[in-house]
Chains A and B, each alone.
Chain A
Amino acid sequence: MPGSEAAVSRPEIGRQEEFRLLVEQHSRALFGLAWRMTGNQQDAEEVVQETFLRAYRSFDRFDGRAQPGTWLHRIAVNCALDLLRARRHDAGRVELQAAGSDAGDAVPARDTAPGPERLLLSAEVQRRLTAALGRLSPTERAAFVLRHYQGCPIEEISRELRMSENAAKNCVFRAVQKLREALQPLL
């Protein structure tokens, strides 16, 4: 960290170095989680930054009581929820990038070279899925992402989202119902 030694003490430098390793190890995984939760690259990057800032503020209190990944994951879920709620309030619903432009921008979808009909259908599925995910409430989306993509059991989701297990189950179930309503006619 050239140039920063003068401004910070030696223990501070050590702490930052330790923290840099965490950033190196967990940035990509956190980005994946944040993208699933926000559906938007810019928001996902914002969530990752905010997650590390919040984590750094409480780094001294972390003390290795949990796995760093688990600890950061929890902070990221909280940050993403905050952002989703703020966006929802601002715009009525989460603004998601259209699947096509999103993929063209920074999310290169894996090309499996299907035929034109299948491509059209797949694009429509993606469009509907993106829209349906955008219509979920922040808590429904968070609960669904944690259950479906992260494989968290309901008990853990209820802890992370600070709600009863029943409420967490309802959130996941409602999310699946909404996705099903949106996609079933095409599948």
Chain B
Amino acid sequence: MHLSEEQLVWYRYGEAKGAAAIGEHLAACATCRAAYQSLERVLAAVDQMPAPDPGENYAAAVWQRLEPRLQQCRPAQRDEGAVRSLTLTALFATWRRLALAAAMAVLIVAAFLLGRFWPRPQTVARQPIPEQVRERILLVAVGEHLERSQMILIELANANPGPQLDVSSERQWAADLVGDNRLYRQAAARAGDPAITAVLDDLERVLLEIAHSPSTLSGGELERIQRQIESGDILFKLRVVESKVRRQEEKPNGL
């Protein structure tokens, strides 16, 4: 029984399970040792790829280009309600984000209902939520929603099709996101934004597919979902719309 290619790769990177046993096997088995040495040669060649030196004055050049742009790009203040952490450690399950998205969803519905059903006041007892604020709320909520949706799709798009893959947690996330997605899609349609509406429509189909899939996928089922994700170029569209939404979010007056 020889070592698998995967075992050799993780042994090389010091992250193999049972590293001691793998080391012993390599010492005893000429075939595996040859395979490992071949891997070593490939990775050594990768190491030798010439690394560029941007030059001694690179930092000064960066600052020179950067400084004028910083004037137009003041840092987000804590009290501006900025909700997006730029660190990539902001993981999917952050309760703050979920709570925020839920609160935004409630606000959108409330804003919609207020606008639609609240009796037109003769004497103004209550101010409706201004249109601009409503749009800003929608932008923040949609941005968060798109980011969370991307995480599931990236996860599945990068999964390795094997005999069986447990996707119960992705399935549950997708089911949770479908409801929000429908709400945001309808709100975007009402706001007259066909680009966001179309992307959310595409996203909804993929999320439904994932939510309705079995909790354990066969290789073929996973590949079908991966094809669906790839064929619509949905991940790219999501990223484009998310960055558009984020840019609008950063404008002082929203849209």
Contacts and interface: CB of A to CB of B under 8 A. Distances in A.
A125 interface: yes
Contacts, number: 182
B42 A183 contact: yes
Interface string B53-90: 11000111011011101110111111000100111110
Contact of B71 (A7, A75, A102, A164): A7
B158 A31 contact: no
Contacts of A177: 5
A148 B14 CA distance: 11
B19 interface: no
A149 to B, nearest CB: 8
Contacts of B73: 53, 56-57
Contact of B87 (A4, A71, A106, A179): A71
Interface in A19-40: 19-20, 23-25, 27-28, 31-32, 35-36
Given A27-B59, A159-B88, A176-B9, A15 B51 contact: no
B45 A85 contact: no
Interface string A153-170: 110000111111011011
A153 B160 CA distance: 19
A23 B63 contact: yes
Contacts of B82: 58, 61
B64 to A, nearest CB: 10
Given A28-B54, A103-B50, A23 B59 contact: yes
Contacts of B52: 31-32, 35, 41, 44, 102, 106-108
A91 interface: no
Nearest to B239: A85
B38 A187 contact: yes
Interface in A35-85: 35-36, 41, 44-45, 48-49, 52-61, 66, 71, 74-75, 77-78, 82, 85
A109 interface: yes
A8 interface: yes
A110 B86 contact: no
Contacts of B160: 166, 170, 174
A167 B38 contact: no
B27 to A, nearest CB: 22
B224 interface: no
B154 interface: yes
Interface in B231-255: 233, 235-236, 239, 243, 250
A94 interface: no
A116 B48 CA distance: 18
A159 B91 contact: yes
Interface of B: 5-6, 9-10, 13, 15, 38-39, 41-43, 45-54, 58-60, 62-63, 65-67, 69-71, 73-78, 82, 85-89, 91-92, 151, 154-155, 158-160, 233, 235-236, 239, 243, 250
Interface of A: 1, 4, 7-8, 12, 15-16, 19-20, 23-25, 27-28, 31-32, 35-36, 41, 44-45, 48-49, 52-61, 66, 71, 74-75, 77-78, 82, 85-86, 89, 99, 102-103, 106-110, 122, 125-126, 129-130, 137, 139, 147-148, 153-154, 159-164, 166-167, 169-174, 176-177, 179-180, 183-184, 187
Given A45-B54, A57-B73, A60-B77, 14 more contacts: A27-B54, A27-B58, A27-B63, A41-B52, A48-B62, A49-B69, A58-B85, A66-B87, A82-B239, A110-B50, A159-B89, A160-B88, A160-B89, A162-B151
